[in-house]
Structure 1
C-alpha cells in the first residue's frame, strides 16, 4: 500500500469537510444541549421554506433524506391497506437503493425498469407500463440527478409524464445532488410542487452533499400541505438533533463555504474528465459530485487494486457493467487518484 490512510472516494461524501462556521455553531450549542431543539428545528423549517419559496406547511424534516424516503413508502403502504388496495414501488435500474430497501423490508413488491441503454435516461414508457399492468397504487422513486450515473433526465418528457399521471400514481423525486447541476434545462421538482403539477408529488433533498453534513443526518421533503401532513404521521417525533439543526443553519449562512464547496467539486470533475479523455476511458456526463466511468476490465479487480494503492472507489452497478462510480473529492485528492490511475494504464490494468 502506497499511502497509510485510505482515500475514500466511494460514498459521495464531501471530503472538503464541514464549514468552520458549522463546527463553531455546534460548539456554541453545547451549552444548551440539555434542552430540546424546538426553536432550532422551527428556525430550520422556516429557512428551508424561504430558500425553496414554499410555505412551512410544505416542508417535512428528516433524519437525513433517507427518513423522508422511508416515511413516503410507509405512508402509501398504510393508505393502500386502509383503502383495500395493493401497493408497489417502481424504480429505474440502477438507482439509489433506499426506496427499494425500505419497500422490501415491508414486503412491498419492487419493480425495476432498466435505464435506456444509449442515453441512460429514465424509460418513461417502461415505467408507465409497470404501473399500468398493476391494479393498485404505484410509487415511482426517481433520483434526479440519478445515482450512480450522475446524469439528469430530460425535463420536458419527465414533466409531461408526471403532469398526466392518474390519481393512483405517486412520484418521489430524490434531488440529493441538485445543487451540483449546471445543465440549464434542468427544472427541479420543487418548482413542480409550487406549480401544483400534481398532488401526488414529493421531493426530497439533503444537506449531506454540498453542505458536507452527512454525519449530521438532516434532510427534508417538500410537497403540498396535505401530503406533508400525511407523511408527518410516519416521521419520528423530534427527529432533528440540536447539532444538526445549528450546523445546517450556519452552513446555509456561509456563502463563502458553499461557493468553495461547489468550486472544488467542479474543479475535481474537470480534472478527472480530462484524465479520462486522455486515457480514452468513457464516462457519463456528471451533474453531481461523482462520476460514472469505464475501467476497461473487471470492476472488482479494479477496486481491489485501487485499495492496494490506498484508494477506495465505488462498485459496479448492474445491469451496467464495466463502470465504476467515483466520488469527486478535493482537487488534491483527485490528483492522487489521477496519478494512480495513470500508473494503472502503464501497467495495462485500465
Structure 2
C-alpha cells in the first residue's frame, strides 16, 4: 500500500504549484516566506537582533501586570482607559486614538482597509521587513522605492511612484533597519505632492530615541498641519520596553481608524498589556532617562564603528546599520561565533541593536576585525 498523496489527483493548487500544501492557497501567499524571528542568544551572549530595550521593566510596571490577574475574563476590547490617556497626552479627541497588539497590527489593519487586488502600496526599500508582506496579504502590489545612497527615504521618488492605483504609502522614520530620519521639511513637501485621498502612514516606532531636531513629528503634522490622510503610529514595544506584551497605538482621522478597527482581530490587546502601558506612562520620566542612555550609547557605537572603517548611516533609532552587501551573511556568522546575535538582511547589511553596555566592546571588536577584509571599493567602507 502506498501513502496517500498530499493533494488528491486533479485538485488544483489555486494557482500555486507547491504540491506540498494539501489545500488551495493563494499563490502569492504560498510563495511568501513566514516571518522568521532572530534566534535567542546562548548563555553569556547578547541578543542584538530584535531592537528590544535592554533594561528590565520598572517595578511599578511589573506590579501593574501582576495586578491584572483576571485571566478568566476578556479584556476591554477598546482599551478605553489607555485611549483616553493617549488622547489627553497628545490633546486629541479620544475617537482619534486606536490601540492594538503592536503598531504592526495597526499597519496590517490599515493596509487591509485601504488596499486589495489591483491596488498598490508604496514604501521605501530597504525598510521594515513586514511592509512587502502586508501588501501581499491584502492582495495589493508592493511598490518598492530604493533608498538614497546614504540609506534615507527618497521622498520625491516615492511621490513620483504614486499612480491612480496607489492606496497607501508607508514612511518609516527613523528608518528600520538603516537608521536615518525623514525631516519635517521633507515630509511637509511630500504631503503637497501626494493626492489627499491616498493614506500616508507615518511609522514612528522609534520616535522616542530621535535626537535630531529636524526630524518629522507625526503629532505636529496631525496637530498643526491638519492633513486628514496622515496616520501616525507609535508603540510601547521599544522605548517603553513592553515588546513581550505587544501594544501600540495610532492617532489620526476617526473614520480612517473605524475602517482599521473593522479589519482587526477582536480582543487582541490584553488587560495586562493595557495596564503595563498605563503604568509606563506614569513612569515616563524614568523610562525616558533609560532611552537617553541608549541614545548616547548608540551615538558612541556609531562613531566608533565609523572610526574603524565602516560607513554607518545616521543612526536615530536604537540600532546601527552596517551596509555589508554581499558579505552580509559571512559577517553575521562572525558575530554569531563571537556570542552576538545580530539581524542580517542577505545582500544588504546587518542591523545591530544597541543593547547592554557589556556588549559594546564585543560589537566594536568584531566589527573592526571584519571590515579589514572588505575590498577597498566596498560600499560598506567609509573614509577611515
Using the size of structure 1 for normalisation, the TM-score is 0.87
- The aligned runs of 1:237-256 (5 Å cut-off) are 237-256=266-285
Partner in structure 1 of residue 381 of structure 2: none
- Counterpart mapping for 1:73-88 below 5 A: 73-77=111-115, 86-88=118-120
Say which of 350, 353, 375 aligns to 1:327. Answer: 353
What CA distance in whole angstroms lies between the structure 1 residues aligned with 2:66 and 2:92? 31
Deviation at 1:341, TM superposition (A): 3.9
Separation in 2, partners of 1:163, 1:105: 29
Q: Deviations over 1:277-317 (max 9, x none)?
A: 33122211111100113559812111111111111112136
* Counterpart secondary structure, 2:295: helix
**Could you say if the C-alpha distance between residues 193 and 105 of structure 1 is closer, same or farther in structure 2, counting changes exceeding 3 Å?**
same
Q: Which residue matches 1:24?
A: 63
Gaps of 5+ in 1: none
| 8 Å contact kept, 2:235–2:248 | yes
Counterpart CA distance in 2 for 1:301 and 1:206 is: 33
- Structure 1 partner of 2:142: 110
CA contact (8 A) 1:267 1:331 kept: no
State how far apart, in whole Å, the 2-side matches of 1:39 and 1:115 are: 38
In 2, distance between residues paired with 1:98 and 1:55?
Answer: 30
1:100 is the counterpart of 2:132: yes
Distance (Å, rounded) in 2 between the aligned partners of 1:160 and 1:294: 29
- 2:296 paired with 1:267: yes
- Structure 1 residues 195 and 235, CA, compared in 2 at 3 Å: closer, same or farther? farther
Match of 2:23 in 1: none
Q: 1:25 & 1:69 partners in 2: Cα distance?
A: 28
Partner Cα separation in structure 1 for residue 175 and residue 201 of structure 2: 13
Cα contact 1:41–1:245 (8 A) shared by 2: yes
Return the alpha-carbon distance in structure 1 between the equivalents of residues 130 and 146 of structure 2.
Answer: 17
Is residue 173–residue 216 contact of structure 2 (8 Å, CA) maintained in 1? no
The two structures have a TM-score, normalised by structure 2, of: 0.80
| Runs of 5+ consecutive residues of structure 2 not aligned to the other structure | 1-40, 375-384
Residue 157 of structure 1 and its aligned partner are, at CA, apart by 2.6
Instruction: Say whether 1:13 aligns with 2:67.
Output: no
Q: State the Cα deviation string for residues 34-83 of structure 1 (Å, max 9, x = none).
A: 333329922111111122221110011111111100110111136xx8xx
Match of 2:151 in 1: 120
1:172 maps to 2:201: yes
Q: Is the 8 A contact 2:115 2:121 kept in 1?
A: no
Distance 1:297 1:103, change over 3 A: closer
**Cα distance in structure 2, aligned partners of 1:190 and 1:349:** 45
Whether the 8 Å CA contact 2:245–2:273 is kept in 1: the answer is yes
Rg: which structure is higher? 2
1:153 is displaced (CA, Å) by 1.6
1:300-319 superposed matches below 5 A: 300-316=329-345
Q: Give SS of 1:315's match.
A: strand
Q: Alpha carbon RMSD of aligned pairs, Å? A: 2.4
Work out the CA distance in 2 between the residues paired with 1:5 and 1:161. 46
Q: CA deviation at 1:233?
A: 1.3
Counterparts of 2:95 and 2:106 in 1: how far apart (Å)?
Answer: 15
Q: Which moved more, 1:250-259 or 1:142-151?
A: 250-259
Distance 1:52 1:315, change over 3 A: same
- The answer (yes or no) to whether the contact 2:305–2:364 under 8 Å persists in 1 is no
- Check the 8 A contact 1:281/1:295 in 2, yes or no: no
CA contact (8 A) 1:265 1:289 kept: yes
Once residues 40 and 110 of structure 1 are traced to their aligned partners in structure 2, the CA distance between those partners, rounded to angstroms, is 31
- Alignment counterpart, residue 41 of structure 1, candidates 79, 88, 94: 79
Residues 127/8 of structure 1: CA separation in 2 closer, same or farther (3 Å cut) = same
Pick which of 13-22 and 211-220 moved more: 13-22
